[in-house]
Amino acid sequence: MSRELLQNVRVLDPVSGSDRIADTLITEGQIEAIAEKIAEFPADTQVRDCQGLILGPGLTDIYSHSGEPGFEDRETLESLMQAAAAGGFTRVAILPDTSPPVDNLAGLALLQQHIRNLPPGLPSLYFWGALTAGVKGQQMAELGELASCPVVGFADGLPLSNPALVRRLLEYIKPLGKSVALWPCDRTLAGNGAVREGAVSVRLGLPGIPASAETSALAAILELVASAGTGVHIMRVSTARSVELIRDAKARGLPVTASVTWMHLLLNVGAISGNSKDAGGKNALTASLPYDPNLRLEPPLGNLSDQLALIQAVKDGVIDAIAIDHNPHTYEEKTVAFADSPPGAMGLELALPLLWHGLVETGEFSALELWRVLSTRPAVCLGQTPATVAPGVSAELILFDPQMSWTVDGPSLKSRSANTPWLGQQLAGKVVQTWIN
């Protein structure tokens, strides 16, 4: 029988609000006991001194992209799941923009077949069903059929430009009892922009995307939610004004939740210049090349005021969760001019250590606050029961060493792609063990 005793470990449990030093006994994948001191245990127990380490529930990612099927040179399902496990994620929800997309039962069955062929011990993988056929934003997908299958909800992961279609979607989905995730973005206002509009974009000489490209679309979505009464998750919040709109919507009792991607909390548009002065002292990169294509994101990194508003909104609960939005690309795809590069960056392996050192060690967040928005609240947004650290429950846990040093390079990464601005840098913080239910 497999038994492990973790002694003197810092146990975080956002569900109960507990943060304490304790011994934890895990037997055959079950948490058997948590106590200040466990003095009696079977002789065959593997004992480990975990002083300085953190034991918490596995993390949940609300949405990320998979290369497989269709773009296996970017990422396979196996490499994505290995990267997730390495980063502490035990649950990952995948957006439907694969090739073929998950807009019908056949597309979903193909992905499920791929999963059955993977080795055991990997994180749980969930799928969003497409809102529209071919994720093209023109007509509804087979929502009724998909709703009868194990999809976590419906999302294209792309903006929907037709408000009439959004209204019909919300009205149709309401009785199906599934989540809906929408990304507010007006492509006509965004135009050919590559960065957030403002003083820094002018200095960079890059076309700017106004904040109104997000906020005008968000305001329209919130009006449709108020009319239809269908719960909606707002993806990729990136502006201070969006925070105000969501705060007001929640105060009015609208059924909305929201998430921000992890890089928008750590960085702002100033990071693109490679100049810490432009970042206003909020640059989590120890070194950055100017115009690094790995900083080309959708939505773009906000201005400093946006970054500060997003951090506060997560603390206040206006924004419910942090999403990773892992978006792998090959070296060749990203080795182009900044404005020509495809938007997106990998992140499953990097988010926890960088958020820990960028937000917890700086005093912005408590350890429990960070774990809550990476584990408990994302699971709730997906309509799932969150993992917890308590006796008698299955062990869905990670053991995190916040001081363990490692270098972000090809051999250290489980992901098939390495499109990150932290490539080549030395980080502190590593998940050293994962228990997957």
Per-residue pLDDT reduced to its tens digit, 91-114: 999 999 999 999 999 989 888 888
Beta strand pairing status for 397-407 and 54-57? antiparallel
For 351, phi then psi, to 5°, come to -60, -50
pLDDT at 1 over 90: no
Exposed/middle/buried for 150, CB within 10 Å: 0-12, 13-18, 19+? exposed
> Which amino acid, one-letter code, is at 158?
L
User: Does the structure show a pLDDT above 70 at 286?
Assistant: no
Mean pLDDT, residues 353-381 taken together: 97
State yes or no: pLDDT of 29 exceeds 80. yes
pLDDT in tens, 208-267: 999 999 999 999 999 999 999 999 999 999 999 999 999 999 999 999 999 999 999 999
Residue with tokens 């948490």: 31
- In this prediction, residue 240 carries a pLDDT of 98
Task: Pick the more confident residue, 113 or 10.
Answer: 10
Whether residue 316 lies in the annotated active site: no
Q: Which of 23, 156, 306, 325 is catalytic?
A: 325
Distance CA 1, CA 27 (A): 7
Q: What is the pLDDT of residue 189?
A: 98
Q: How far apart are CA 169 and CA 382, in angstroms?
A: 18
Give the separation between CA 80 and CA 289, rounded to whole angstroms: 27
Would you state the pLDDT for residue 190?
Answer: 97
What are 293-344's pLDDT values in tens digits? 999 999 999 999 999 999 999 999 999 999 999 999 999 999 999 999 999 9
CB 435 within 8 A of CB 122: no
Work out the mean pLDDT of the chain and round it to a whole number: 95
Q: Which amino acid is at 156?
A: D
CA dihedral 316, 319, 325, 331 (to 10 degrees): -60
What is the spatial distance between Cα 102 and Cα 426, in angstroms, rounded to a whole number? Answer: 37
**Rounded CA separation 274/201 (Å):** 13
CA 413/CA 263 separation, integer angstroms: 18
Q: Is the pLDDT of residue 277 over 70?
A: no
Q: What is the pTM of this model?
A: 0.96
Q: Which two tokens stand for residue 310?
A: 């997003």
Judge whether 103 and 95 are in contact, CB under 8 Å: no
How would you classify the pairing of strands 59-64 and 30-35?
unpaired
What separation, in Å, do the N-terminal and C-terminal C-alpha atoms of the chain show? 17
